[in-house]
Chain A
C-alpha cells in the first residue's frame, strides 16, 4: 500500500496529544517555524531590552542591597530558563521515547545549548550579585550547588547527544538521560526550603517583592522566554536542514 510522501502517517493508537502529532511532521512544522522565528526572537529581544532598561533606570534601589538589586532583572529570567529549558528538554525526550517522533529528538537537542547558557548566566550573575550582597562570590549551599549540578548535567547531555549522533545511535540513550535529569528540578526549587541556605527564599510568586520593583521583571522574564524560543527554533531549523542535506548526499552517492 502506498501513500503520498507529504501525508503524515496516522498513529497506530488514539493520541491524547493530537497537536503534538500534527506538529511532528517536519514539513508542517517548518511551515509554522519559518514565520514564527523572527516574531519570537525580535519580540523577545524588545521586551528584554525594555525590561532591562526599566530595571536599571525606573525602579528604586533596595533599602538593604542598594543598586545591586537590579541584577534581579537578568538573574531571575536566566534561572527560570535554565530550569525551564531542562523541563522542555525532558518533555521532548519523553515524547521521543513514547511516540518516537524524530522532531521531539531534534527539539531536545536544540534546547540543550540554550538552556546550558542560561544556567551558566544564572550562576555567573548570581555570583556577581553574591559578592556585594553576601560578601562572597560562591557558597556551597543547596541552591547554588544544585544549579551548578544542572549546568553540568546540560554539558553531559550535549556530549552524550553528540556522541550518540556520531555513532549512528537512535537517540534513546540521550532521551533517557533527558528524562532522568529532571529529578534535579524539584531539588533546585525546594533547596531554599529544605536546607538553611544563604540564598534567599522565593519572593516573586509569593508577592514578597514590592510592586515598584516587580513590574520590569515581568518584561524581562517574558522577553527572555520568547528570545529563548526564537533561538531554539533557529537551532531546530538548522538541524532539520542538515538532516535534509545528509539524506540528499546519501541519495546522490547511491546513484
Chain B
C-alpha cells in the first residue's frame, strides 16, 4: 500500500477546503465593505 497517496489526498482536501473558505470570506468582506462605502458617499 502506497502511504503517500493517502497523505497527499488528506493535504489536498485541507488546502482546497481552507483555501476555498478564505477566498469566499475575503470576497464577501470586500463586496460588502465596497457597497457600504459606495452608499456612504451618496448624498
Contacts and interface: CB of A to CB of B under 8 A. Distances in A.
Interface of chain A, main secondary structure: helix
B21 A52 contact: no
B17 A68 contact: no
Contacts of A239: 32
Contacts of A224: 18
Interface residues of B, number: 25
Contact of B18 (A56, A66, A227): A227
Contacts of B35: 241-242, 245
Contacts of B11: 52, 56, 71, 74
A132 B36 contact: no
Contacts, number: 92
A41 B22 contact: yes
A241 B36 contact: yes
Nearest to B13: A124
A67 B40 CA distance: 55
A172 to B, nearest CB: 25
A248 B36 CA distance: 9
B22 A249 contact: no
Interface stretch (A10-18, A114-122, A158-166, A199-207): A114-122
Name the residue among B3, B25, B35 with the largest chain A CB count within 10 angstroms.
Answer: B25
Interface of A: 37, 41, 52, 56, 66-68, 70-71, 74-75, 78, 113-114, 117, 120-121, 124-125, 128-129, 131-132, 224, 227, 230-231, 234-235, 237-239, 241-242, 244-245, 248-249
List the 5 shortest-distance A-B pairs measured between CB atoms, nearest first: A241-B32, A67-B3, A234-B25, A241-B36, A238-B29
22 contacts: A66-B3, A67-B4, A78-B14, A113-B21, A121-B14, A124-B10, A129-B10, A132-B1, A231-B22, A235-B29, A237-B32, A238-B25, A238-B29, A238-B32, A239-B32, A241-B33, A242-B36, A244-B40, A245-B32, A245-B35, A248-B36, A249-B39
